[in-house]
Amino acid sequence: MNPACVLTIAGTDPSGGAGIQADLKTFQELKSYGMSVVTSVVAQNTTGVKDVHHLPDSFIREQLFAVSEDMPVHAVKTGMIANKEMMQVIKDWVQTIDAPYIMDPVMIAQSGDPLVEQEEQIYLKRHLVPESTLVTPNIPETETLLNRRIDHEEDMKEAAVEIVEQLGAGAALVKGGHLKGKAVDFLYDGYQLHSFEEERIDSANTHGTGCTYSAAIAAYMSQGYPLTQAVEKGKHFVTAAIRHSFDLGKGDGPTNHFALRREVFHS
Ligand SMILES: Nc1ncnc2c1ncn2[C@@H]1O[C@H](COP(=O)(O)OP(=O)(O)OP(=O)(O)O)[C@@H](O)[C@H]1O
Ligand SMILES: Cc1ncc(COP(=O)(O)O)c(N)n1
């Protein structure tokens, strides 16, 4: 039997913790067939971003059609999309695809380095967010999307509803990794608010958690899980990946994509 096929469109992380590398590891671990289209090649590691090389938008288009004219695409996720030209190409392509589209609106790396310039972030909000089945902003990204501060859980809930009702996303998952206390995320699916809560793990090794979470949701959706269940299972996956994260690198280390395997083996 053929596997479910899932595509990531994102930038690279040669140190393996975030971006396309994190996405592909997640897809593999969750037993979907992973495919990837590179938007930007990023010289980065756990300490930060050193340099970036953006691919021409015409070449991103070529990669996208090389995949979709030959392979099934059962779900797609996007990560770092650095400029308007790329956003336009991706928007046009997404409209040709009949599959869930999970958008991680990557703006700033955890190290604080910008991955998408401010003017381009507005374009993303106007043109790509309305194409998404699900958008997964963290707190600073939610603040940028809505142009106001998000300080506590009530703000997160309101924000999730607003991202759907005012910005036109199919659903919104506002992630609380950047707040204090429990690690709570809120999903608004257009009808209902759902919360996903886990204990906060005392770890600085959270490089790539957002990438890993959205990739896990995309993998589960490629396999036909409904949105809420895909988010629930994705949260379980990312929490285990943080709990068993690796002390690798001189900065904030990467998460552990084998973690669920390990929990299963050791429980
Ligand atoms: N220390 C932690 N313990 C448990 N869960 C966490 C912790 N930090 C983040 N999370 C969870 O990890 C997921 C990713 O959330 P976060 O808000 O950190 O996204 P992000 O900022 O996009 O990630 P990234 O670190 O890749 O930028 C969420 O489910 C969040 O609740
Ligand atoms: C190519 C790419 N995409 C996304 C992130 C965000 O991940 P993080 O916020 O954990 O650094 C990143 N660092 N690099």
DSSP the chain: -PPPEEEEEE---TTSSSHHHHHHHHHHHTTPEEEEEESEEEEEETTEEEEEEEPPHHHHHHHHHHHHTTS--SEEEE----SHHHHHHHHHHHTT--S-EEE----B-TTS-BSS-HHHHHHIIIIIGGG-SEE---HHHHHHHHTS---SHHHHHHHHHHHHHTT--S-EEEE-TTSSSSEEEEEE-SS-EEEEEEPPP--S--BTHHHHHHHHHHHHHHTT--HHHHHHHHHHHHHHHHHT----SSSSPBP-TTHHHHHHHH-
Could you read off the pLDDT tens digit of each residue along the chain, which spans 267 residues?
Answer: 999 999 999 999 999 999 999 999 999 999 999 999 999 999 999 999 999 999 999 999 999 999 999 999 999 999 999 999 999 999 999 999 999 999 999 998 878 888 898 889 999 999 999 999 999 999 999 999 999 999 999 999 999 999 999 999 999 999 999 999 999 999 999 999 999 999 999 999 999 999 999 999 999 999 999 999 999 999 999 999 999 999 999 999 999 999 988 554 443
Which of 116, 211, 238, 248 has most ligand 2 atoms within 8 Å of CB, for mutation?
Answer: 211
- pTM for this predicted structure: 0.96
Residue 24 Cα, ligand 2 centroid: separation in angstroms? 14
Q: Could you tell me the domains of the chain?
A: 5-136+206-266 (3.40.1190.20)
Any atom of ligand 2 within 6 Å of the Cβ of 110? yes
Q: ipTM for the complex? A: 0.96
**Catalytic annotation present for 112:** no
